[in-house]
Amino acid sequence: MRDVAVIGVGMQKWGELWEKSARDIFVESALLAMNDAGVDTLESMYVGCMTPGLFDAQEHFGSLMADYLGQKHIPSTRVESACASGGLAFRLACMDVASGMHDVVLAGGVEKMTDISGSDATHALATAADLKWEGVSGVTFPGLYAMIAVAHMAKYGTTREQLAAVAVKNHDNGSMNSRAQFPTKVTIDGVINSVKVADPLNILDCSPITDGAAAAIVVPADMVKKFNKPGVKVIGTGHATDTIALHDREDMTTLAAVSEAADQAYKMSGKGPKDIDFSEVHDCFTIAEIVVSESLGLFERGKGGPAALAGETAIGGSTPINPSGGLKSKGHPVGATGVAQIVEITEQLRGEGGDRQVKNARVGLAQNMGGSGGSSVVHILEVM
């Protein structure tokens, strides 16, 4: 396999983009990435999008995006793994380049979620759970993650304050991100006293409904010198699945798909958790960031909550997590999230983090997740 690098990235400000369609949003971010890389022609592209059929009555999404991007006739593939669709699109773009099939490949992700009614968005998102065992019982994602939180609290003594600390830290980071949907700071008290959604999770423990897209340009590592931008090398990739139904798992307090995908990426890169300078992880709920940080091996099991409360995961901490603001503050247009993690890591490794810059960042890890952990994709990137 050939070595692979990211040579350009792009995303717009996320939020309720009512004046733009899904195709507008995708093209906008893709052009930002192409402009960043300095390319106007793609050889192949991958589009992560969870459910354009339910959100937008539009499938055949890869072809449509290639056409609207002015790249008609190139191979364009839409991939879906619920909220991990974007990370998976990035992985396939890397595989495409690694195989030798194509040299200049775009990985994009998009979701347009706010133009349908609230009940429909809940229905669309619930299709990431097991319809026959979870959906028909009325359980939705706040409920599933609440069950994980209760189990984690019972087993490890994780506290309500520790959950809130994740939200506070991510909103602190997001307040410095001009592209974040909610660049607003919150407090521990504010999170704990916000509206209850599914006990113990409150509204400020939950990532929002968002319109947005993100894109990255992937090329062979040995082609990087032809471009004006510094390349960022993709040194590890992992992808794993689990039961999408939570009750089928042996242990609700860890995420086996995350650990398995991370193991693959660590093995391929020759790195371990101690070598990771910072991470972008899938904090769809505050408890998710805590469990993921443990499943990745960044902290021992049960230590993720105390670490968050102690500030270890802040930008200036020992183990920075989600300097972008994460899904919590930046927003969570599900198909775009995994690619946006690559955008942040690339910019950080190029030293373009601005006020959010992680000092001496040389190795970054991206962890994207589908549903309640039924799938996960992990990538490790390094400065060249």
Which residues form the interface with a second copy (CB under 8 A)? Answer: 1, 21, 50-54, 56-64, 66-67, 72-82, 88, 92, 95-96, 98-101, 123-124, 126-132, 135, 239-244, 248, 256-257, 260, 370-371, 374-375
Max Cα distance, the chain (Å): 55
Q: How far is the CB of 326 from a second copy (least distance, A)?
A: 21
User: Would you please indicate which residues are annotated as catalytic (active-site) residues?
Assistant: 83, 332
Q: Which is nearer to a second copy, 127 or 175 (CB)?
A: 127
Q: Which is nearer to a second copy, 260 or 277 (CB)?
A: 260
Instruction: Give me the phi and psi of 359, to 5 degrees please.
Output: -65, 140
Between the two ends of the chain, the Cα-to-Cα distance in Å is: 18
Q: How far is the CB of 259 from a second copy (least distance, A)?
A: 10
Q: Which is nearer to a second copy, 127 or 159 (CB)?
A: 127
Instruction: Give me the phi and psi of 212, to 5 degrees please.
Output: 175, 165
Q: Which is nearer to a second copy, 322 or 376 (CB)?
A: 376
Q: How far is the CB of 76 from a second copy (least distance, A)?
A: 5
Prior bond of 200 cis (ω within 30°):
yes
Which long-range contacts does 172-175 make (Cβ < 8 Å, 24+ apart)? 172/314, 173/314, 173/315, 173/322, 173/323, 173/324, 173/325, 173/326, 173/329, 173/356, 174/324, 174/325, 174/326, 174/328, 174/329, 174/330, 175/325, 175/329
Number of C-beta neighbours around residue 153 at 10 A: 18
Q: Which is nearer to a second copy, 215 or 240 (CB)?
A: 240
Q: How far is the CB of 364 from a second copy (least distance, A)?
A: 21
Q: How far is the CB of 128 from a second copy (least distance, A)?
A: 4
What one-letter code names the amino acid at 298?
Answer: L
